[in-house]
Every structure is written in structure tokens, then in C-alpha cells.
Structure 1
Amino acid sequence: MNKAAYKNGVEACRAGFERLKAGKPEHPAHIGLPSSKITPGTVSVEAGFDRGYLKKSRQIHIHLIDEINSYRKRLKSDSSTNLTRFTQVLKKSEQKDFEIQYLHDLTQKIIAQNLQLVERVRTLELELKSYRNVQKIQSEP
């Protein structure tokens, strides 16, 4: 093959790579292909060549192969960042759920104590009524 054919092949592969990144492949097997699955082999097939067309041993292909691999690394990095962010949000949510449960339990405990105190006051008021030597104190308005 002459250099012009190699150049056209690389240009076809670059166009295929751009279609795959945009999610608009022409090859039926690549429809719905996740971006993380884009490899030099899939780019070659999308461009109309066999899977092994793009090779690191071909000087003219190295730059495109590096771009494809760099794109995959970026996606993996973004994915891992999103996973880390999701994990942090999930952990924070679990902490808030624990805090809500703790506060709910504490509220129930305080309500129970208040009911016990109200009952104790009622009991003491009834006991006071039974004493004849106790006079009511009028509170001033």
C-alpha cells in the first residue's frame, strides 16, 4: 500500500472514532456500544477495515491509537470519579439515616419521660387533696 492509502485509512478510522464517540456509528454491531468499549479494533471495524487494521507498529497509526486509549482512560477516570462521588453521597445518606433514627428514638424517650412526669404530678395533686391542713395558694395574675 502507498502512503496515500494509509493516510485515507487513518482518516477513515478517525471519522469512525468520532462517530463512535458521538454515539452515531454506521456499523450495526456498534449501535448502542458503550463509550468504554471503544478500542482501536472497534474503530477499525467502524471505518470498514478488519479488527487488526490499526497497529502500533505502523508509525502513522500511533497517534490515533494513543487518542483512542487516552479517551478510554478519561472515561474510566470519569467513571471512577462518579463512583467515588456516589459512594460518598451514599455514605452521607446512611449517616443522615442513622442520625434521623437516633433523634427519633431520643424524641420517643423524652415523650415517655414527660408522660411519666405528668402522671407523677397528677398523683401528687390527688395526694395533696387528701391532706386537710393544706391550703391552696392563689397565684397572682
Structure 2
Amino acid sequence: MSFGNGTSKGLSTCEEALQRLLVGKPTVPEHVGLDLSKLTASIVSLEAGFDRGYLKKSRKAHLPLLAQVEAVRAEASKGTGSLSSKQIRQMERQLAALEKALSIAEMQRNKVLAQNMKLWQRVRELERSMADSRSGRSSNVDPVLRNNNGMAFTPA
């Protein structure tokens, strides 16, 4: 049986099935959430209500539809297809963990920078104090230093 546009009813049914698969609204429960990189002519045939072997390369009328199925599968295999929700959730968890690690690293960096600034200021004060004591001027900075054990000593 042929329609006025030269396509058979079965081919038209397969084209409709392919469109349902592409928009993610298949009628066959097994095809719900189908990864388009796994799309085959047999899946389209089953979605249309036929057996797996309905679409054949030997039928010239089927070739455009088969080429379209192959193009969709190739495009999805390149990584331009949609990711599964499981993959998206996993990537979101990884992103959250990386953001947390970054936040911790930034806090540690800021703490170390603050400590370094305090140490640099203290060194500058001590240098000024030593320069003042050599030149005979008095200084407001206490010249007593402490070693690693906490023992006080006066620089020579």
C-alpha cells in the first residue's frame, strides 16, 4: 500500500516512531530514556510496532530513514547528545566537592597571607628598632625576642 506521496504506511509509521524517539516520548516502555547513541533501525522498527527486521537496507524506500537513524546515532556518539540524568547528578556532586575544596583552599591561603603580613610587619619593626638602637635613638618596640622554645633573649 502506498500513499500519494510515494511512501508506504509502514515507512510512515517508522518515521513517526523515529520522531517520538528523538523527542523522548516513545510508546514502548523499554525505549523511555533511550541514549540516542544506541539508536538502531531495529529499535525504530519495534517502536513503530513492527519486528526488528522491518527496516532493511535492501529496500530503497527505507534508505533515507536508515541514513537519518545513522546520522542521529553518530551525532549522539560525538558527545553532542544529551547526558543521562545519572551522569548529570554525578557531575553536580563532583562540582560541589570541587567548590568545597576550593573554598577551603582559599580560606587557608587567606589565613597564611594574613600571618605572613603580620610577620613582615614585625620584621620591619624589629629592623627599625635595631637601626634606631645603633644610631642611639630610643625605640617604642621591645627589642626582646623569643627563640623556638619561648625563651627570651636580647639580640647582640
When normalised by structure 2's length, the TM-score is 0.56
Once residues 38 and 7 of structure 1 are traced to their aligned partners in structure 2, the CA distance between those partners, rounded to angstroms, is 22
Tell me the residue number matched to 1:118. 125
Aligned residues: 112
**CA distance, structure 2, for counterparts of residue 109 and residue 57 of structure 1:** 77
Between the aligned partners of 1:10 and 1:41, the Cα distance in structure 2 is: 13
Q: Which whole-Å deviations, capped at 9, do the CAs of 1:11-65 have from their partners, x for residues lacking one?
A: 1110000000010000111112122222111101000011121111111111100
Q: 1:123 to 1:39 in 2, by over 3 A?
A: same
Distance across 2 between alignment mates of 1:79 and 1:119: 63
Report 1 or 2 for greater relative contact order, CA contacts < 8 Å, sequence distance ≥ 6: 1
Q: Please list every run of 5 or more consecutive structure 2 residues that lacks an aligned counterpart in the other structure.
A: 84-101, 139-156
Alignment of 1:14-93 (within 5 A): 14-79=15-80
Taking the aligned partners of 2:129 and 2:25, their CA distance within structure 1 comes to 78
1:12 pairs with 2:18: no
State percent identity of aligned pairs.
Answer: 29
| Residue identity matched to 1:9 | G
Distance of 1:73 and 1:119 partners within structure 2: 71
2:141: which partner in 1? none
CA distance in 1, matches of 2:58, 2:26: 26
Q: Give the 3 Å change call, closer, same or farther, for CA 118–79 of structure 1 in structure 2.
A: farther
8 Å CA contact 2:14–2:44 kept in 1: the answer is yes
Root-mean-square deviation (Å): 3.6
